[in-house]
Chain A
Amino acid sequence: MTAHRVDAGALELGAGLETLVRAALQNVPPGGELEVATASRAAAFELAGWARVAGHEHAGDTTEGHGSNATFVVLIKRGGHAAVLAPPLPRRARPPAGGELTLNGLRRVEPAPEHADPAEGLVPIGAVAEAGAPAYEWQLNDRDRIWAARIASLVERAARAQWTSDDIPWEAAVGLPEHVEAAVAQVMTYIAQNEYAALYVPARFLPQVNPRYAEVLQWLASHVHDEARHVEVFTKRALAGGARGYALASTELSLHSLLEEHDFSAAALLLNVLGEGTFLDLLRFVERHAPDAATAAAARLAHHDERRHVQFGIAHVRGRLERSSDEREALVAAAEARAAKLTSLSGLNPVVTDSLVLMAARSLRPGDLAEAGTAVRGLMQTMERNRVRRLAAAGFDRPTALHLSDLHTPNLM
């Protein structure tokens, strides 16, 4: 067998020699020999010990030339063990086309599998997993149970659409009349309280998702991050004018029942389609009727995020209904089970309703209050109408959509 050869200059161990030799040995078959030529006698001496520890054999030394021009040649016989306990990496392929690396582009390297091994490690898309890693016990291992059409584009949009509390003109939040500020503080507190639930629900599923479904992880992470920001800005707006609001027990009861939902698809229906869907109309109302620019901006920016969340929910539920004949029944049962826990709630808490009216009226004048009251009642009708429309978009027939909308929590989320 012809020996391979590498010129190591005067490199030493710890300063590049072992890296060069390891790279050169990759081209040598097990049992084959590599000549390492070095100008350093000390490097030649230390290479033998390194080779043995690295699982190779030191097969001899020779010297070429004399004196200061001498070259020391160390012969290393490659060991038979695999450096990494995995099949060889695939050959270099054509890079993903188009110059732009999209998530869908990555999936051309390796499609999302229909089912993933529950013991799967944290293996990025395209990576070759080494054997011998500790086993995990992921709970969500079936693609269709957590996927949504165009999830990659939702993830990418979420990443591009991030904003911060600095985007809100907080200076506009001061100086409102006492009763208007009190109403705004209560509405903002109510929204913030609900946003906590919208954070906890995706956060609970996040660590259950098999790492093979990177898009779902990224989606849930963006969802959690969005809601954390919503909690922040609505809390800030609640306190920005100096007033405080109640965290109402009726809201808590509703959210508690939402957090008790452990099925991914049922949670997508109850939170994304029904809860956040209904909040889209609420946020639009707050934006339109806010007495100050800070409140309006917070509602507008949060609305952008919630729209994405609703799109995910609709796409996910639609996919589930299309693929599984049992799913419709299971989702309806989940909505009914939750409604059964909320029988003590007969409507949106009057503290919230009154605050919406007072916020929208901006005064205690009867005319303004009447007009605002009409607007809030109109909001409730809009919510009902749009809920049914979203449920239809998610794939439910009209009678079922009407039934599900009726079952929805009076707390709105």
Chain B
Amino acid sequence: MVTIKNKKPSHVFEVNDCAIITRMGGVGTAINLRELKERLISCSIDCLYYHFCETLIRPTFDNPEYRNDFALWSAYKLRDRVLAERLGIINPYSFDDLEGLRERVLEIIDERLSSLNYIPSVPKGDEFIFMRAATVVFDTGIVLHQPEDLFLKLPLMSRSTIYYHFMEARRRTQDRVDDFTFWIKFHPEKNQQIIEELAKIDFYFLNLNELKTVLIDTLKNIH
């Protein structure tokens, strides 16, 4: 887990970028729904983060039907659309912490298991594989001095920069806000509107290209 909480706002905003390197989750695979539940109880919290949040910066084919891997596995491997929909609607950023998220996922799986008179399972080769990732954060050399600079520099930012400052930030900032909002709070004069508009973005169901466009449009409308 990330430990750099309680960061104080600063006058300047140093734009960072990040890269992740995916690794095995350290728990066994799950061949049926009961095993998935058992593994979810014991897996590292980083596995939950990976399968719910880091799905966005992994190489993918296109917009998947669901944003988290548990919902995708339920839909395409277990062929349980009911479970997939219930898991698919979960927004991981709406929980106080990832343990809360774990609890909710387990609750949904428990409910599903108790409503079925069989245990849904998959053939060998389609097991759920638990993964996690290590994140390396690095400096891009871009520095923002005023909130207006954000509008100017956003088009230059990579997808992973957007991910790092707008989404990943929420697991390390005190109020679980994005880094831009955290910084702009230090420049409150006439920037309250930016903070409010950023807070309105329903970001979890956007991919990073879409999020970048929404951010640029939001700031454009304010300026």
| A and B physically associate | no
Residues on B facing A (Cβ under 8 Å): none
Residues on A facing B (Cβ under 8 Å): none
